[in-house]
Amino acid sequence: MPASPVFELLLRSGERTDEDALAQSGELPGADALAAMRRAARDHPEDPDYWFILGSALARRGEHHEAVRAFREAVRFPTGEASYRRSLGASLWQLGQFEQAREAFDATLREHPEDADAANGLALSLLRLERPAEAAAALRRVPTVTRRRADLRSNLGTALWAAGDTHAAERCFRGAIRLEPARPAFHRNLGLALLASGKAARAAACFREAQRLDPTRAATLMDLGDALFAMGRHAEAEAAYERGLALDSGAAVSRASTHAAWQAIRVERARGDLPGRAEPGLLDRAISRGFDVAHRLERFIDVLGPPGFRLAGVGVLLLILAFARVTTLVLPHYVAHHRLHDEVVRLSRMPTADDSLVLQGVLNAARRLEREPFVRSEDVRVEGTDGTRRVSFDYEVELELLPGFATRLPFRIRVEEPFLLEPEPVIL
């Protein structure tokens, strides 16, 4: 897996979303609306707002080259607002003109040092210019109250990762999820960090949650495939890749690790080493479910107290999950064993001297209770003498409680019960 994940960066458009009705509208402006905005800008050359409104409309349509020209007209006026230059920076960033974007955001901050969106834009521009330490410093200068914004926390995580502080980056990604748990990008970013750190099972839980929140995102399915491949679950990885390509045929472009994994899977498939179905086994499903639950609960870990006590809290949670896992696997076998014992008691009282009938009844009961794979007919001893019948046998059930940890559950049946023969019928 790649050592340098491609995290999602979050950049606001720069519009005054609290004031601008255009920015809040869900509809993209059409050609007629744009023509009207252009006329208004030409007819009111002394009012920068018209140029800003036109630039915002063009930016929302993805026409950033024209948007930049309109924003540059708006910032010529000394009465211009911070949102004008910030929007110029955002469109320049979208065009990949990162040095010019950095200058626009930097100019905004010189006039408005508390502008969190400008600081965010400056940090993302610095990241693209491969200056991660400066990017992290820019985000850390944001006022503490504003710094609790989830998008700023996630972007800070990206900057810290690029600067080499991977542990702090992971904490930032988790913090973003706690602040805004319904945003798929934050779960995906944490998953990418975990996967790059070799924690594939935990990464897969993040990707599954991101995919649940946004089922239309092909990249998340490709990420999930990478994580499953790293876990050795190649058939499931293949299915995830195929689902991702069904959503977007270009989803695997520029993903070297995905190409390598998929090529290895194709070789295994050609050799016949992969199962026909991609459905995970019971153990894999249980483990995945445990990681999914742990990931969803992770944002509530803060209630466990200061960091020094959180490890204990997580330990308790894992013990609960382990107990649930063991109970789910073991309890059904004990229930079935006791039901089989009751059946053997009933059968041993059969009013017959033919022990083979009792033996067959015991084997039939084992089959009904799904003990047949464990109970061998040659191990079952049935002996009836002097009105008493003894039935005895041992069997074992092998279980894999945790990956790589198998155990055997021993069971024993010893039954001794009286029986009465039915009197022979009297034929007159």
Domain positions in the chain are 1-180, 182-280, 333-418
User: Fold match between 1-180 and 333-418?
Assistant: no
Give CATH superfamily name and number for 182-280: Tetratricopeptide repeat domain (1.25.40.10)
For 45-61, write each residue's pLDDT tens digit.
788 888 999 999 999 99
Mean pLDDT of 239-262: 89
| CATH architecture under which domain 1-180 falls | Alpha Horseshoe (1.25)
For 201-233, write each residue's pLDDT tens digit.
999 999 999 999 999 999 999 999 999 999 988
Q: Does residue 29 contact residue 16 with C-beta atoms inside 8 Å?
A: no
pLDDT given at position 59: 92
User: If pLDDT is split at 50, 70 and 90, which confidence band does 271 have?
Assistant: confident
Reported pTM: 0.66
For 298-315, write each residue's pLDDT tens digit.
665 554 454 445 555 555
pLDDT given at position 278: 63
Mean pLDDT of the chain: 84
What CATH number labels 333-418? 3.30.1300
pLDDT given at position 280: 64
Residues whose CB is less than 8 angstroms from the CB of residue 66 and which lie 6 or more positions away in sequence, other chains included:
58
The share of the chain scoring above pLDDT 90, in percent, equals 52
Residues whose CB is less than 8 angstroms from the CB of residue 149 and which lie 6 or more positions away in sequence, other chains included:
116, 179
pLDDT given at position 328: 76
Give yes or no for residue 22 having a pLDDT over 70: no
